[in-house]
Amino acid sequence: MSLRPVLFAALTILAMACWLGVGAQQPVSPDPTQVTAIAGEISQRSEHLKPMFEQVHAADWVANGAPEAYVSQWRSLAEQNDAIVADMSGIAQHPEAMSDIMKALFRVYRFDGDLNGLLGSVRRYQNPALADLIESVAAGDQDGVGKLQQYALDLASDKERQLDVENNEAQRCRSMLAGQPPARTAAPKKTNGTSK
């Protein structure tokens, strides 16, 4: 009787046990439907800001003594705001894409920082009430941004746990395989003093 089929069957059973062990120990992932709603909230904030941006006339500020850099900064903010809407739409479609979530969060944080830096100019050169309105609408989604950040942290922790489980199972399987006796090969048949 050859040991190869028996050894192959034993290794196959061992590999299946290891594979099933990894699947059984995986924790439950964060709920991706939550992130779809959160992305919708943040996107809605950006949509509410669009008509307010149209009321800002940064080019007119230059005539009142403002530096020309404000025009390009304001244009950049409007473009960032549109990009946030696109990012949130992508997140809603692929809520487990960690790189998309991180990119969107960085964009929101940059937008908020740039907006805060420019609202003083809106107050000074155009209309303090408009600046206050923009500021209040922009601050309205901070709860959503915080939830998206927490979701990203939970997703990263979940993926790390999964990798730890897979690594532990792989180590367990390796140690089980290392403990198996080496396969014996059949001695070559001798015929007339020569081996084949």
Residue 174 lies in a domain: no
Q: What are phi and psi of 190, to 5 degrees?
A: -105, 135
Which contacts (CB < 8 Å, 24+ apart) does range 107-112 have?
107/80, 107/83, 108/42, 108/84, 108/145, 110/80, 111/77, 111/80, 111/81, 111/84, 112/138
Q: What is the pLDDT of residue 128?
A: 94
Residue 93 lies in a domain: yes
Residue 88 lies in a domain: yes
- Distance from C-alpha of 88 to C-alpha of 101, rounded to nearest angstrom: 8
Q: What is the pLDDT of residue 75?
A: 93
Q: Which domain holds residue 86?
A: 30-159
Q: What are phi and psi of 194, to 5 degrees?
A: -120, 155
Structure tokens at 31: 């709920």
Residue 69 lies in a domain: yes
Q: Which residues pair with 190 in a beta bridge?
A: 195
Provide the number of structural domains found in the chain.
1
Q: What is the pLDDT of residue 188?
A: 67
Question: How confident is the prediction along the chain (196 residues), in pLDDT tens digits per residue?
Answer: 444 454 444 444 555 555 445 444 444 445 778 888 889 989 999 999 999 999 999 999 988 888 999 999 999 999 999 999 999 999 988 888 888 888 998 999 999 999 998 999 999 999 999 999 999 998 887 888 888 888 888 877 877 787 777 777 777 777 777 777 666 666 666 666 555 5
Residue 68 lies in a domain: yes
- Distance from C-alpha of 43 to C-alpha of 87, rounded to nearest angstrom: 8
Alpha-carbon distances, residue 172 vs 139, 169, 177 (angstroms): 50, 5, 9
Structure tokens at 62: 């230059």
Question: Which amino acid would we find at residue 165?
Answer: V
CATH of the domain at 90: 1.20.1440
Q: What are phi and psi of 191, to 5 degrees?
A: -135, 125
- Distance from C-alpha of 165 to C-alpha of 29, rounded to nearest angstrom: 14
Q: What is the pLDDT of residue 192?
A: 67
Residue 137 lies in a domain: yes
Residue 113 lies in a domain: yes
Q: What is the pLDDT of residue 115?
A: 93
Cβ-proximal residues to 84 (8 Å cutoff; 6+ apart), any chain: 42, 43, 46, 104, 107, 108, 111
Return the residue matching tokens 């003093």.
193
Q: What is the pLDDT of residue 148?
A: 86
Residue 5 lies in a domain: no
- Distance from C-alpha of 183 to C-alpha of 8, rounded to nearest angstrom: 10
